[in-house]
Amino acid sequence: MKALRCAAAAGAVVLLAACGDDGGGASGGRPVDGKTFTMAVPGDPGNLDPHFTSLSVTGQVDRFLYDSLLGFEPDGKTRPGLAATWESTGTTAKFTLRKDITCADGTPLTATTVAANIAFVGDPKNSSTRIGLYVPAGVKATADDAAGTVSVTSPTADAFLDRNLGALPIVCAKGMADRAKLKQSSDGTGLYTVSEAVPDDHYTLARRKDVTGPVGLPEKVVIRVITNETTTANLVLSGEVNAARFTGPDSQRLQGDGFLKRDVLAPTGELWFNQKKGLPTADPAVRTALVQSLDLKQMQQVFTSGRGAAPTGLVAPANTPCKGDNVTGNVPGLDAAAGKAVLSAKSPKLTVVWGATGGAGAQAAAELLQQQWQAAGVRVELKSVTTTQVGQIAAGQLAWDVAMFPIGVTLPSQLVPFLSGPTPPDGANFAAFDNKAYAEAVAAAQKLTGDSGCPQWDAAEKAVIKNLDLVPFANSNLPVVARGAELELTEGDIDPASIRMLG
C-alpha cells in the first residue's frame, strides 16, 4: 500500500517556475473525501512521456503520474522523494531509495530501473529533451538492488548535480521497455494514473487504489484544456473548475472569501534571436538595431498589463540561488534613430513567433513589437503559436527568426542545453547560440558546487544578454487561483500531494 506520509509527500518540473509568497485568501470549508479535482490548462500537454517534453503544461500533468528522487519544498529547499538519503559532489551522486516504493501496477521500483532512467536520458542517441537539463550527457549510472542505491558519475562537472538528477521524473520498468505507451498513458510511482486521454479536450486521472492519504485527497483529477482565460475564470466562478493559472487580468475577478491564491513570479517576457546560419538575426549588428528600436519598458507594461516588474535575470527569481542583476546595463537603451539607420539599409524580413497562451498581453506586446520594428524598416510577419508548436520550435521543426516566449527554469545550470551545445535533433540549443563567453563562464561555474559558483553563473547570464542572444524584458506574477480546494505549489506547479478537496 502506498501511504501518503504528509502534505509534502514524495513527488517531484520546464518552461515555468518560481513559487512566490502566498497571495492570501482561503477557500473555506473542511476536507472531504470522494471528490474530483478539476484544473484548467491553457494548452494540450501532447506527449506525456516525461523524458520527451519541454512544456510546462506537460510537466504539471506528469507531476500527478511520476515521482522523482528528490522533492522540493515551497521555498525551493530539497527534501526526500523516492530517495531517502543522498550525497553528491560536482561529478558524482549517490541516492539511497526508500524501501516502500511501488509502481502503479504494484511492482516494486528497483534501483536498477532508476539507474536505467538516468542512463537513458543521459545517452545522446535517445534524444531525450531532459539531457543536459536534468542529466549530463554521457553519465554512468549503476545500481545495487540489495542496498537500494543508485550511483551516478558524470563526465562533466555539474554544480547542482544532486538537484538536477533528483528532479528527473522516474519511469517504471514496463514504461522504459515500451515508451510508446507513455505518450497517452503512464507508468510511474505517482499518486495517479491516466484513465482517459482526449487530446485538446481533457485528461482524466484516477487515484491509485493502493494510495491511502489524508482526508480530502481527490479520488479523481480532470485536466481540462481551455485556451481562453476569460472562459477559465468563468468556470472557476461557477465551480466547474477548481484551479487554474492566470497570466492576464481575469484573475482579478477571483478574489475574496472562497478563493485561494498562490503567487508565482516568473520571467515571462523574453525575446530569443535565432542565430542559425544565413538568418538576419545571426548578425550582431541586426540584433543590436532591433533592440534599440524597441521600447522595452513599454513592452513590459503591455505584456504584463501593467502588473509586471523589470527582470534581473533568466532564472525564476524566487528559486535561483544566484540573486544578481544581470540585465541592467547589459541591454541597449531605446535609440530609434540608431536602430533605423541600420535596419532601413538592410530591410530584413522577420518571422516573429509568440506564445498564444500568454494571454491578451502577449498579443498586444507582439503587435507593439511589430509596429516599432516596421517603423524602423523591418518587414515583420507575426505568428501565434500553440503550446504544441512551442514544443516543435524547441525541437527544431518550425521556421522562425525571433521568438517571444519564456524558458522557465529554477537553476542556472538548467539553461545550459538551451543556450549552448548541439542544435536539434542532437540537442536543445534551438536558437543555435554559439557564445564563447557564456561557455567559458559556465565551465568555470560547473567546477564549483551550489551557490559558490554564483559569480560565474551571473557572468554567464550577462554574456548571453550582452550579446543579445536572449533579451528578457518582463517578469510577471502568474498566480494559481483555487476554489473548493486547498493546495500548495512547489517548483511553480501544483503539488498533487498537497491537494485537499473541501466541502
User: Domain locations in the chain?
Assistant: 2-189+479-501, 268-477
Choose among 92, 7, 121: nearest CA to 490. Answer: 7
Task: Say whether 329 sits in a helix, a strand or coil.
Answer: coil
What confidence score (pLDDT) does residue 353 get? 97
Give the β-pairing of 220-225 and 36-41: parallel
> pLDDT above 90 covers what percent of the chain?
76
Bridge partners, residue 272, by sequence: 403, 470
Residue 339's φ and ψ, nearest 5 degrees, are: -65, -45
Distance between CA atoms of 89 and 448, rounded to whole angstroms?
9
Distance between CA atoms of 307 and 316, rounded to whole angstroms?
17
What confidence score (pLDDT) does residue 7 get? 29
What confidence score (pLDDT) does residue 22 get? 45
Burial of 210 from C-beta contacts in 10 A (0-12 / 13-18 / 19+) = exposed
- Domain 2-189+479-501, CATH number (from 1.20.1440.120, 1.10.760.10, 2.10.10.90, 3.90.76.10): 3.90.76.10
What confidence score (pLDDT) does residue 317 get? 81
> 268-477: same fold as 2-189+479-501?
no
This prediction's pTM: 0.78
Give the β-pairing of 83-88 and 349-355: unpaired
| pLDDT < 50 stretches in the chain | 1, 3-25
Apex 107 CA angle, 101 and 113, nearest 5 = 70
What confidence score (pLDDT) does residue 358 get? 64
**For the domain bounded by 268-477, which CATH number is listed?**
3.10.105.10
What count of residues does the chain have?
503
Give the β-pairing of 243-245 and 36-41: parallel
CA 335 vs CA 3, 121, 270, 315: distances in Å? 61, 45, 20, 28
What confidence score (pLDDT) does residue 9 get? 30
Sign, CA dihedral 41-46-51-53, equals negative
What confidence score (pLDDT) does residue 488 get? 94
